[in-house]
Structures are given as C-alpha cells and as structure tokens.
C-alpha cells in the first residue's frame, strides 16, 4: 500500500512542483536509493524484473528509490524534472498467465525514456499495451496487482490509472493525490476499453476496501486543499508522516485494521504494509532537489537532500537480512526500538529530528558544494540516529498487545535482527 501526492506551481509557495510519496512494502523488504547516469546502451534488449523488452538508443539520468530485489522503482525523478510515484490498485481485470512488466518497471522506464510528463504517459501506456503488467510483486507473500501513477514535470502533472492493459489519464488541477484505489471517472484521454465508463467501475471492491485507500486519499487531498498556495517541502514531509490527527499517546500497536499515510505494519493479513522509503521531489524551473529518507517509517527518519550534480554518497545496497553496514538496516534498530514504546520513545527525538531537517533545508538553499553537503547530511543523520537509539533504549518498553508483539518478533527473527 502506498500514497502519492503532487502540488503544482499555483499551489506551492515558490512556484515549484512538489511530489511526495511513501513506499509501503513488507516490513523486511529493504529499500535502496540508486542514481544512474544517462547512457547510450549498446544492447538492443533490456531485462526488466521478469521479461525482456526492446531497449532504446538513449536513457536519461535517474534517481530511484526502490525495493532492493526489483529492477523497477517505487518512485523517482529524472534529470529533466520528471517525477513519478506509483500505487498498487486492485481491479476486475483478468490476470494474464505470463508475467509482464511490474508497475515499478513501468515507472522506471517512464523516467529513463521521457523528457516531459506527457511523454512519460506515452512511454508507460505504449509499453503497457505491448507487454501487459503483472508478475509476483510481493517480497515474501503472493501479490499481483494493477497500477496507478502520478506523473509530473516542471509545470504539470497527470494521474494515470490502469486496468490490465487498459489505461486512463487525467490532468491534475493544482493538487492531486492517489492511494490504492481507482479514482478517475470518465476522462478524455484513455485507451479504447476505458472510454465512456467511469474508471472506478472497474475497481475490485473487497481488496480496495481493505486497503483503506479512500480514507488515506481523502486525508492527503484534504490536507493539500487546506494549504493551497502555501505548500512547500516541509508541508510534504509533514504529510508523509501523517498518522491521522492523533494525540501524543497514539501508537501503531493498536488495531488490527486500518492504515495511515505513514504506514505501520501490525498483526494479520490487513496490516502487512510498512512505509519502507519516502521521497519528496522539489522541481523548479531550473533546479531539482530530491529529499529522501532511504529508511523506513518517515516518522522515525530524516529526509536528506540529493541533487543530480552532487550525486549520492557511497551506500552499500541492502538485502533481505539485517546488515549494520547498510543505511536501511542500521536505521531499523532505531525504528524497531521505537515501536516497543512508540509514544515515549518517538517523543524523545521528534523535535531533534525536525531541528536537524530545518538545518538541512536551510543549508541546501545556500550550499555551493552539493556533493559535500549531501554526504555531510547523510553522516549527520546517521550520527543523530545512533544517539537517538541510545536515548530511546533508556526508556522502558511498554506492554504491547500480544498479537502485535508476536508479529514484530517474527519479522525480527526472519531478518536476523540482533
């Protein structure tokens, strides 16, 4: 389960386009960030997650945030300012017997091959019609789904929703958001199979209902509507950390159903999704700044700035087992320690996190050494999280609901957490 939203120039404080997304995956499904340069591939074929497709003569530089084991990405930005986030949607479309392109593959291909949002829509829909979508998309559980996307560039954005090989797209007016359900009615731009009928009529009721997508989409949409004209990067970060207007004693340990924008896994088949990575892209007329956590649970994480002309610090890729040498798994020590008494332990460092991000935001606007500043931000965030972890461990654990406790202890064992 995921949430994606976008704000266009007439809704932001500085005339930029801001796209935010939480990638909600399984709790042990490590997330990684990669930056790939523009290239002129020699090979005529490309291997996506499951199938080979024709390669193009040139691919654009991309910054991707992705599950470690999948070729495609949950979210990303390219050197031209095209940004995309995707969502799993559950439809009545008949599943094809052979794997096709995953929605994450389509997202990466759109970024690698398009200069504008409109062009990215063409890239994704042409590939969708040619190769279909599908294949095992779950890390350890069987999961097959269709996809929706928000696709933006420096001036506009589109919502693209798919049903099998069919698709429909609608231009965003000022702000837009999507979750794990179809949202479009009748649209002007669509494949032949989705012309005339509301796209929402193709939704699978049961899976869509239990994804809690309507509540989350309303939450992000209403929040953006309330501050149109005043939306900035901190607004997007705050929204990605949203737990639904709860009080200071709120804890993700409560409840067997329901999900928030900042998703927390729990016990049972309904609460298996955890926000494993978060991104805010800030695209102006002449610059691109991408804020990434590269860690799970944005409420326990720090957003760090990345630029195409600054690159990424050296980061070891995570895998399915705990590895303290990787950023994602090292952060899990803080995240999972916090979960043992969420109200008190998270409160012990929330202001420190916000103050650190405020320093990063101010510094990002002034730095002349982007590579050095990005590296310093990653180092500072890592040092801060180590200190917060030690402080959190001095706060006693709370008594957790038995089933919630059992679920997280099982995930810890599977990952080899210390």
Active site residue 299: no
| Residue (of 197, 167, 198) closest to 183 by Cα position | 198
Reduce the secondary structure of the chain to three states and give it as a string.
Answer: CCEEEEECCCCECCCCEEEEEEEEECCCCCEEEEEECCECCCCCEEECCCCEEECCCCECCEEEEEECCCCCCCEEEECCCCEEEEEEECECCCCCCCCCECHHHHHHHHHHHCCCHHHHHHHHHHHHHHHCECCCCCCCCCCCCEEEEEEECCCCEEEEEEECCEEEEEECCCEEEECCCCCCCCCCEECHHHCCCCHHHHECHHHHHHCCHHHHHHHHHHHHHHCCCCECHHHHHHHHCCCCCCCCCCCCCCCCCCCCCCCCCCCCCCCCCEEEEEEEEEECCCCEEEEECCCCCHHHCCCEEECCCCCCCCCCCCCCCCCCCCHHHHHHHHHHHHHCCHHHHHHCCHHHHHHHHHHHHHHHHHCCCHHHHHHHHHHHHHHHHHHHHHHHHCCCCCCCCHHHHHHHHHHHHHHCCC
Burial class from Cβ neighbours inside 10 Å (0-12, 13-18, 19+) for residue 377 reads: buried
| Residue (of 285, 280, 175) closest to 234 by Cα position | 280
**For the chain, how far is it from start to end, CA to CA, in angstroms?**
28
Q: Which of 2, 262, 299, 377 is catalytic?
A: 2
Question: Which residue do the tokens 């939480």 mark?
Answer: 22
| Residue (of 28, 15, 89, 17) closest to 326 by Cα position | 28
Residues tagged active-site? 2
């Amino acid at each position: 389960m995921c949430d994606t939203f976008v704000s266009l120039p007439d809704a932001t404080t500085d005339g930029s386009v801001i796209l935010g997304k939480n990638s909600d995956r399984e709790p042990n499904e490590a997330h990684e960030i990669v930056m790939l340069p523009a290239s002129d591939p020699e090979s005529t074929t490309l291997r996506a997650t499951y199938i080979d497709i024709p390669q193009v003569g040139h691919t654009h530089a991309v910054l991707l945030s992705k599950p470690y084991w999948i070729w495609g990405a949950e979210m990303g930005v390219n050197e031209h300012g095209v940004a995309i986030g995707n969502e799993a949607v559950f439809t009545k479309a008949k599943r094809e017997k052979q794997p096709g392109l995953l929605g994450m593959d389509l997202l990466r291909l759109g970024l690698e091959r398009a200069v504008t949002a409109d062009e990215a829509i063409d890239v994704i829909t042409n590939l969708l019609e040619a190769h279909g979508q599908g294949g095992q998309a779950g890390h350890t559980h069987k999961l097959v789904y269709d996809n929706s996307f928000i696709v933006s560039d420096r001036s506009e954005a589109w919502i693209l929703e798919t049903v099998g090989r069919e698709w429909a797209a609608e231009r965003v007016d000022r702000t837009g958001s999507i979750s794990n359900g179809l949202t479009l009615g009748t649209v002007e731009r669509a494949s032949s199979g989705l012309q005339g009928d509301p796209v929402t009529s193709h939704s699978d009721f049961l899976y869509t209902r239990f994804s809690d997508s309507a509540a989350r989409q309303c939450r992000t949409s209403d929040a953006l509507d309330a501050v149109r004209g005043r939306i900035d990067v901190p607004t997007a970060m705050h929204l990605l950390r949203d737990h639904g207007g709860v009080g200071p004693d709120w804890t993700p340990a409560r409840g067997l159903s329901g999900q928030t924008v900042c998703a927390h896994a729990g016990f049972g088949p309904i609460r298996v999704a955890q926000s494993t990575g978060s991104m805010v892209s800030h695209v102006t007329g002449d610059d691109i700044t991408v804020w990434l956590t590269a860690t799970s649970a944005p409420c326990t994480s720090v957003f760090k700035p990345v630029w195409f002309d600054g690159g990424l610090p050296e980061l070891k890729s995570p895998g399915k087992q705990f590895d303290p040498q990787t950023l994602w798994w090292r952060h899990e020590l803080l995240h999972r320690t916090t979960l043992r008494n969420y109200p008190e332990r998270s409160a012990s460092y929330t202001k420190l996190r916000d103050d650190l991000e405020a320093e990063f935001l101010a510094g990002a606007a002034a730095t002349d050494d982007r590579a050095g500043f990005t590296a310093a931000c990653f180092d500072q965030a890592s040092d801060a999280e180590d200190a917060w972890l030690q402080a959190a461990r001095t706060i006693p654990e709370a008594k957790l609901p038995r089933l919630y406790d059992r679920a997280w202890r099982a995930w810890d064992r599977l990952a080899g957490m210390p």
